[in-house]
């Protein structure tokens, strides 16, 4: 598992290096703000990819004396840092685009390499996004999911830049700056969604979908009279669950223990990489 996560994250680092380099070179040659904004976007994606690479190496380390619940939240913190990087990108893009539109300095040089770079970027971004999404879903990795979002965002932003280049080729040079603003808006939307999810995990926000699944499991077990104090939180790919179950007070200790084992096993069937703690209370006599 760890090898596959590190491999897909490592390849993404090399892909980000390649894309950043070609966009920067051609952007400087042509003076295209759309390409330069994409180069900066890819440059921050490179930083994000490096952060992701190291975070997935650390996140799957087992719990130790200093980290009793493991190291999974390093992935969520990594995703949060990537959000900050994306927002920094937006500030620069918006500033440069507005400056060019206001001053009227929008002329750029459009050549075959401009189109080659953008189309190449779309192809690479598409393949990396699919690969990262597949592994992220397989191992429930938010860091890899965040990296996949970066590359999928690049697909749309590169398509917008391509449209801007086509318009500029017909003399509508302002379209390049407008395309850069659209890129910024796309990045802001993705940043908000990614940042919101990351902060929720870091603040131990209860994941509603998992709480619902666990509640359904507990309600389906006939051995349990009822339950309360269900608490669920996530850290990276791991989920931690604690719950108090109400059992028949006439049960022997070994019988109650067997029911607890069954509760843990049934929850782990619907939630992967789940650590479950079950506390037992006797059913109170009705008066």
Euclidean distance between CA atoms 262 and 267, whole angstroms:
9
Residue 237 and residue 101 share a domain: no
Phi-psi region of 134 (alpha: psi -120 to 50; beta: other; left: phi over 0): alpha
Residue 179 and residue 60 share a domain: yes
**Dihedral sign computed on CA atoms, order 121, 124, 130, 135:** negative
Residue 106 and residue 16 share a domain: yes
16-62 tens-digit pLDDT: 888 888 888 877 877 766 677 777 767 777 777 887 788 777 877 77
Residue 57 and residue 179 share a domain: yes
| CATH at residue 249 | 3.30.70.1350
The number of distinct structural domains making up the chain is 2
Q: Which two tokens stand for residue 209?
A: 């979908």
Domain range holding 260? 208-282
CB-CB contact of 114 with 9 (8 Å): no
Residue 70 and residue 142 share a domain: yes
Euclidean distance between CA atoms 11 and 4, whole angstroms:
11
Residue 8 lies in a domain: yes
Write down which residue in 167, 202, 237 finishes a domain: 202
Per-residue pLDDT, 105: 67
Strands 238-247 and 226-235: antiparallel
Average pLDDT, 10 consecutive residues per value, the chain (287 residues): 74 83 80 71 76 78 80 82 78 80 69 80 87 81 76 76 76 75 79 84 88 93 91 87 93 93 94 91 72
Residue 137 and residue 20 share a domain: yes
Residue 215 and residue 193 share a domain: no
Three-state DSSP at 134 gives helix
Residue 187 and residue 156 share a domain: yes
Residue 162 lies in a domain: yes
Write down which residue in 187, 202, 217 finishes a domain: 202
Residue 125 and residue 50 share a domain: yes
Residue 213 and residue 198 share a domain: no
pTM for this structure? 0.67
Per-residue pLDDT, 285: 62
| CATH at residue 107 | 1.20.1510.10
Write down which residue in 140, 174, 202 finishes a domain: 202
Residue 162 and residue 226 share a domain: no
Residue 287 lies in a domain: no
109-130 tens-digit pLDDT: 666 777 888 888 889 888 888 8
CB-CB contact of 167 with 99 (8 Å): no
Residue 114 and residue 38 share a domain: yes
Per-residue pLDDT, 241: 95
């Amino acid at each position: 598992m760890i090898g596959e996560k590190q491999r897909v994250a490592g390849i993404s680092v090399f892909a980000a290096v390649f894309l950043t380099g070609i966009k920067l070179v051609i952007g400087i040659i042509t003076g295209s703000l759309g390409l330069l904004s994409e180069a900066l976007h890819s440059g921050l994606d490179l930083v994000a990819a490096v952060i992701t690479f190291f975070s997935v190496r650390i996140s799957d380390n087992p719990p130790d004396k200093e980290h009793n619940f493991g190291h999974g939240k390093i992935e969520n913190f990594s995703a949060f840092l990537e959000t900050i990087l994306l927002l920094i990108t937006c500030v620069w893009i918006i500033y440069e685009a507005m400056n060019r539109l206001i001053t009227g300095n929008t002329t750029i040089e459009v050549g075959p390499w401009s189109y080659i770079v953008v189309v190449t970027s779309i192809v690479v971004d598409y393949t990396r996004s699919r690969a990262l999404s597949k592994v992220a879903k397989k191992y429930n990795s938010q860091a890899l999911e965040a990296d996949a979002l970066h590359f999928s965002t690049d697909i749309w932003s590169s398509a917008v830049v391509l449209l801007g280049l086509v318009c500029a080729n017909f003399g509508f040079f302002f379209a390049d700056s407008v395309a850069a603003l659209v890129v910024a808006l796309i990045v802001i939307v993705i940043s908000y969604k990614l940042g919101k999810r990351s902060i929720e995990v870091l603040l131990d926000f209860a994941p509603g979908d998992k709480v619902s699944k666990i509640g359904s499991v507990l309600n389906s077990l006939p051995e349990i009279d009822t339950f309360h104090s269900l608490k669920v939180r996530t850290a990276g790919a791991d989920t931690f669950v604690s719950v108090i179950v109400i059992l028949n007070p006439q049960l022997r200790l070994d019988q109650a223990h067997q029911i607890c084992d069954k509760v843990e096993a049934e929850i782990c069937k619907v939630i992967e990489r789940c650590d479950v703690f079950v506390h037992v209370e006797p059913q109170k006599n009705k008066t």
